Amino acid sequence: LPSHYTLPSGDKIPSVALGVWQASQGEVGNAVKTALSTGYRHIDGAWIYRNEEEVGQALKASSVPREELWLTSKLWNTFHAPEDIEAALDQSLTKLGTDYLDLYLIHWPVAFKEGTTVLDEDLTADPYPTWQKLEELVDRGKIRNIGISNFNIRRIQNLTANNLKYQPAVNQVELNFWNPQPELLQWSKENGLLLEAYSPLGSDKQVGKSLSVPEVKDIACKLGITPAQVIISWSVQRGTIVLPKSVTPSRIAENLAVFELPQEDFERLETAATSHTPQRVVNPSAGWKLPFDVFDGQ
């Protein structure tokens, strides 16, 4: 299975990252240190996770040279206005202790007015002004690649209908056994857009359920690997980047070891995953009191 994918910029992004969403302050630093000493070189974070400072301290404490690291962060919803973006990026850079990001994503296709949770209807309907500012920050060397997160096909097309200088390098979305999104995956492959799988194990809410899926357990047993390794390997074999989160040293190590599944096992898992009604773990539409479902119109 690929250890890296090549982005339109030519940069090579490691296929497995340590995800640090829900890795709390006080534990995320050790998780990052463990990950780096285990061989991870890709850390997937975000401004809103409120742990970038501790991640940065762990990066500094490790002896891994910056150019060997792949650091992703995400622009929060309150900073989509072009005049607010650079300051938000600078906060992430300062906390992480670096002067550039490898990848910066628009975290959600939803813009809030500055400092509020009030919807900015214009920048939500048309993210192009946000994107243009990100393109400028690429040209100025503060970001090497830009992408999107939680965009459905309609929202991607709404953005890419503009005359973009840089196409989105990735789209980071929820992808797991319960929400495998085969149509989005197929469309993304046809359109040369790499997907990144967040909550690949179903997050803390569904991880137990994911690891006890009969097909997953069977394949794990047959191949002599763990159920988590089966699911993470399946994600890479589907052609996506995978971002498992763990703060447990043994699991962090376990999750980096991916194995090519025999084709029949891969297909068995794909069929099992796509044969039930999809169940999303993450959908903040109601919590944000949006007048629409952010994933509608896929």
Cα→Cα distances 3→12, 233, 261, Å? 9, 11, 15
Output the smallest distance, CB 105 to ligand A2P, in A. 17
Site for ligand A2P in 24-53 (CB under 6 A): none
Size of the site for ligand A2P (CB under 6 A): 17
Residue 201 sits in the site that holds ligand A2P (CB under 6 A):
yes
| Contact with ligand A2P (CB under 6 A) among 3, 94, 186, 248 | 248
Residue 16 sits in the site that holds ligand A2P (CB under 6 A):
no
Q: Please pick, among 49, 100, 128, 166, the residue that the annotation labels catalytic.
A: 49
Q: List CB contacts of 181: < 8 A, sequence separation 6 or more.
A: 173, 174, 175, 278
Structure tokens at 110: 């939803």
User: What radius of gyration, in Å, describes the C-alpha atoms of the chain?
Assistant: 18
Output the smallest distance, CB 274 to ligand A2P, in A. 18
Amino acid letter for position 161: A
Q: Active site includes 100?
A: no
| Contact with ligand A2P (CB under 6 A) among 51, 92, 152, 199 | 199
* Nearer residue to ligand A2P within complex by CB, 123 or 247: 247
| CB under 8 A, 24+ apart: contacts of 205-212 | 205/281, 206/176, 206/178, 206/279, 206/281, 209/178, 210/176, 210/177, 210/178
Residue 56 sits in the site that holds ligand A2P (CB under 6 A):
no
Output the smallest distance, CB 231 to ligand A2P, in A. 9
Cα→Cα distances 263→112, 201, 260, 266, Å? 45, 21, 9, 5
Residue 217 sits in the site that holds ligand A2P (CB under 6 A):
no
Q: Mask 228-247, x = binds ligand A2P (CB under 6 A)?
A: x---------------xxxx
How far is the C-alpha of 36 from the C-alpha of 164, rounded, in Å? 35
Cβ burial of 86 (10 Å; 0-12, 13-18, 19+) is: middle
| Contact with ligand A2P (CB under 6 A) among 45, 127, 180, 202 | 202
* φ, ψ (nearest 5 deg) of residue 289: 55, 40
Nearest CA to 176 among 167, 188, 184? 184
Site for ligand A2P in 86-105 (CB under 6 A): none
| Contact with ligand A2P (CB under 6 A) among 20, 119, 207, 269 | 207
Structure tokens at 141: 């060397």
| Contact with ligand A2P (CB under 6 A) among 48, 97, 254, 288 | 254
Residue 255 sits in the site that holds ligand A2P (CB under 6 A):
yes
Q: Which residues bind ligand A2P (CB under 6 A)?
A: 19, 199-204, 207, 228, 244-248, 251, 254-255
* Residues that are catalytic: 49
